[in-house]
Amino acid sequence: MSSNVPDYVKDYVDRGKKLDDAGRYDEAIEVYGQALVNYPNIAVLHNNLGCSLANKGMYEEAARAFMQAVTLTPLNRQANIAVPQG
């Protein structure tokens, strides 16, 4: 992950990633969902939510999250906010 993840979302990203890595997808989805209520325009949150949804086999929902991440990436890049890799 890029070092320029905003401090105000870093805790969500770190917690969600740990839960996802542990196979606790429902909890990771909940963490990312909470973050997105407060910060709906952060691409990396949508991307990570998409990863957790895909890991759970929720592919249509994951695709929507990934598309939102793609849409937000240019805006986030302009604001020097971390964006999903690739």
Q: 17: domain CATH number?
A: 1.25.40.10
Are the beta carbons of 13 and 1 closer than 8 angstroms?
A: yes
* 86 belongs to a structural domain: no
pLDDT per residue as tens digits for the range 30-60 = 999 999 999 999 999 999 999 999 999 999 9
* 40 belongs to a structural domain: yes
* Cβ burial 17-29 (10 Å sphere, 16+ → b, else e): bebbeeeebebbb
Domain range for 13 is: 7-78
User: Which pLDDT band holds residue 86 (cuts at 50, 70, 90)?
Assistant: low
* 85 belongs to a structural domain: no
* Number of domains forming the structure of the chain: 1
Q: Among 1-15, 35-49, 54-68, where is mean pLDDT lowest?
A: 1-15
What does the alpha-carbon distance between residue 47 and residue 36 come to, in Å, rounded to a whole number? 11
Are the beta carbons of 29 and 57 closer than 8 angstroms?
A: no
* 26 belongs to a structural domain: yes
Q: Please give the model's pTM, rounded to 2 decimal places.
A: 0.88
Within 10 angstroms of residue 77's Cβ, the number of other Cβ atoms is 12
* 84 belongs to a structural domain: no
